[in-house]
A and B are shown apart, each in its own frame.
Chain A
């Protein structure tokens, strides 16, 4: 006897919704085992990790601050992944968006007109797009593997940022700290409420709605999905594969750049050598957990945002290492991918007699 996967006739609508939930459940089960192995009471640890942060308005706000960039980047990545392009360098596009978005506050800090922020936003988007257009160009022109090029560009972007904040963009009054000058108030994104929450989260919500609308309602979205699933049928429909590659990279790069700009302008308010706790990579998990659907990504982004906050909270309350956050995130992605199989396949138990008959049928 053995277990066999049998292809379903159609995508299971139920599993499309349920499979991420199963993945979350499995992650929590494994997490409990992990906590127990480390000598913590799993119930207590899970409470500290996932529930407690939701009990104070301060940490909910902090959660939204973290979820904003995750959602922005992941929404862009979903467009790219749906079209079967593998941009895994969002972290680099995020960085370059932050750098480009900081040109005005760092170099033209005197310019504090009303157009300063809109210009910064545009430049952030363009910075991310420019960085993403390198792998896109190389893929379209030479067929170069976009996975490796986009990833290598992450490291290069980080060195560029490092060079700037330690070199030409270093704050002259900053006691030699590797930081840019603090942004002028005119160069800081408006806050929502009293705390740290800024309008970056609103950008994220707008991006979710816009991309959801684009994917589900417009010809462009249709084209992306066709080319991602069946390029041959896409050509029969008259779509261009090069155009789709460019579109996916520019959208994902632009949104990652916007997220980077919003992070430095809204949260950090200056450029520092490290501006991201791996948002660009965590967003890949968010995109898959949201099943490449912008609305799903909204929820997935909140959950992954919670995992960041929860890690910090559990460190404070239980002395748990915050490194466990990355483990949770990695496990979650694994389970999400494994459970996705359930959407197209179902499990069947095959007895030995049947199996021999089938072997004869090969």
Chain B
């Protein structure tokens, strides 16, 4: 079947790397389940899948950053053991990480020199960098300081650093997630050129449009397994999205929410916030009305402004325009987080440990953390009511099934799922009128995820408004009444879940809803021209 699907491009070309039966477990979670993958020389091979589908695990195994539990890897037909990244580099595998391993205080050439064997003079290397970077259309100033460079250029450094090691295979993890459309177009030209020279590329992405555009083959993963492979040039972004999300998924989405819409609990009006630092995302003109009784989900690929949106709604980032955020009809843009809590809202951030909870504090103290203002009985004349906090801790850990080795342990000793149940339970216990929750079940086991999702649905059915920010489409369909998509700081119109097919979400995630990308589409031709 594979042979027929593979394009003429790879016919008769030798297999570069083959992974057979790769299996990897993390605790109870099967991250990779008997995964097979073949990459030919000179092909751009897409690895598609949602967050948590097992792509990163597989890639880390190929790069020697993780050891597989079972399975073998063949390099040009011979079995090899890739025990660490250095061994991978020696074989000829290079990797461009989503989170770069760069040194901000150092120049471009210094960053690259650190990854290469010693001996080469900085001046000679600078010349080589200029040469290679121009050859592949990735212009770089070797003397520039990384701290001064935008994210897109930083990625170029990683790519050039990779290229200077003369790799036969380059693994790229979500390379366009940090690029502007123009930069992405430039990257595609580079990748095609590399492929034409015989270098294979394993390309991991969510953006279906670009996979269709540049990849010769695609392997699709879901829940740790390979669920199919295809020639993306013969597919549509819609059919790719269906394969990635799984056909059965959106059947659950039929919403039970038929009651009359409640009052507007959260209103975002032309919310714009400039980006903070090089890795921050600028929020652009975000609008949203969220009513009591409904769950609105914000879908999107990581790093498109989700945490900025969360901070603006929670009040950790204050904004100049008080009316940019309204909670329960009160403009709160300039009000702090506890004022917003007092209005009846509750927040669950993405990072459980270190943001939602203090790692070294016991659970009852962590209850005080977010509830000392909203529950007046917890503080009497400046004094903590620790017995009440302990009571609440018992109540919450029992009703949300938080499993602990002993009563009231430190937050850091809990497993991810149990801590998340606690952090969510701490807020739901108040029965807030508005719940804003970022990545409710990220990295959480299936049992805990089901419990948390059920609790969120129950809250909404009792009349509260819920804003869920998530990167997990399964979760979004399970929960949402309406869905909006965030992409590069812009939020699409929230539409009924039934009207939002996975194809449509995929397209919006891929940037089709952005105002800016329309401009780019017309420019794309120019870029291709040279």
CB <8 Å contact, A238 and B373: yes
Known contacts A10-B412, A226-B369, A232-B354; A217/B383 CB under 8 A:
yes
In the complex, A357→B382 CA distance in Å? Answer: 53
* B13 beta carbon closer than 8 Å to chain A: no
* B66 beta carbon closer than 8 Å to chain A: yes
Known contacts A10-B410, A238-B337; A230/B358 CB under 8 A:
yes
In the complex, A302→B410 CA distance in Å? Answer: 32
CB <8 Å contact, B65 and A362: yes
- Which of B92-100, B360-368, B476-484 is the interface stretch? B360-368
Contacts of B368 in A (CB 8 A): 222
* B233 beta carbon closer than 8 Å to chain A: no
* A202 beta carbon closer than 8 Å to chain B: no
In the complex, A222→B379 CA distance in Å? Answer: 11
Q: How large is the interface on B (under 10, 10 to 19, 20 to 34, 35 or more residues)?
A: 35 or more
CB <8 Å contact, A219 and B382: yes
Per-position binary interface string of chain A over residues 240-265, scored 1 when its CB falls under 8 Å from any chain B CB and 0 otherwise: 00000000000000000000000000
Contacts of A236 in B (CB 8 A): 314, 316, 337, 347, 349, 355-356, 369-370
CB <8 Å contact, B337 and A10: no
Per-position binary interface string of chain B over residues 371-391, scored 1 when its CB falls under 8 Å from any chain A CB and 0 otherwise: 011000001001110100000
Known contacts A229-B361, A233-B354, A238-B337; A361/B67 CB under 8 A:
yes
In the complex, A225→B382 CA distance in Å? Answer: 15
Contacts of B65 in A (CB 8 A): 362
* A220 beta carbon closer than 8 Å to chain B: yes
Q: Which residue of A lies closest to B413 (CB)?
A: A9
Contacts of A359 in B (CB 8 A): 83-84
CB <8 Å contact, B356 and A238: no
* A interface SS class: helix
Contacts of B405 in A (CB 8 A): 9
B332-359 residues with Cβ-Cβ distance < 8 A to A are: 336-338, 341, 347, 349, 351, 354-359
Task: Report B488 CB to chain A, min CB distance, Å.
Answer: 25
CB <8 Å contact, A219 and B409: no
* A323 beta carbon closer than 8 Å to chain B: no
A200-236 residues with Cβ-Cβ distance < 8 A to B are: 217-220, 222, 225-226, 229-230, 232-233, 235-236
Contacts of A230 in B (CB 8 A): 354-355, 358-359
Per-position binary interface string of chain A over residues 1-35, scored 1 when its CB falls under 8 Å from any chain B CB and 0 otherwise: 00000000111000000000000000000000000
Known contacts A219-B372, A360-B84; A238/B336 CB under 8 A:
yes
Task: Report B334 CB to chain A, min CB distance, Å.
Answer: 14
In the complex, A286→B405 CA distance in Å? Answer: 35
Task: Report B255 CB to chain A, min CB distance, Å.
Answer: 31
CB <8 Å contact, B355 and A232: yes
In the complex, A94→B405 CA distance in Å? Answer: 47
* A119 beta carbon closer than 8 Å to chain B: no
Contacts of A225 in B (CB 8 A): 361
In the complex, A225→B362 CA distance in Å? Answer: 12
Cross-chain pairs A/B with CB under 8 angstroms, 27 sampled:
A9-B413, A10-B410, A217-B384, A217-B386, A218-B382, A218-B384, A219-B384, A226-B361, A229-B358, A230-B355, A230-B359, A232-B351, A233-B354, A233-B355, A233-B356, A236-B347, A236-B355, A236-B369, A237-B370, A237-B372, A238-B336, A238-B338, A238-B373, A359-B83, A360-B83, A360-B84, A362-B65
* Beyond known contacts A219-B383, A236-B347, A362-B84: 15 more, CB 8 A cutoff: A9-B410, A9-B413, A217-B386, A218-B382, A222-B365, A222-B368, A225-B361, A226-B361, A236-B314, A236-B316, A236-B349, A236-B369, A236-B370, A359-B83, A362-B65
Q: Which 3 A-B pairs have the closest CB atoms?
A: A238-B338, A9-B413, A360-B83
Measuring CB to CB, which residues of chain A are less than 8 angstroms from any residue of chain B? 9-11, 217-220, 222, 225-226, 229-230, 232-233, 235-238, 359-362
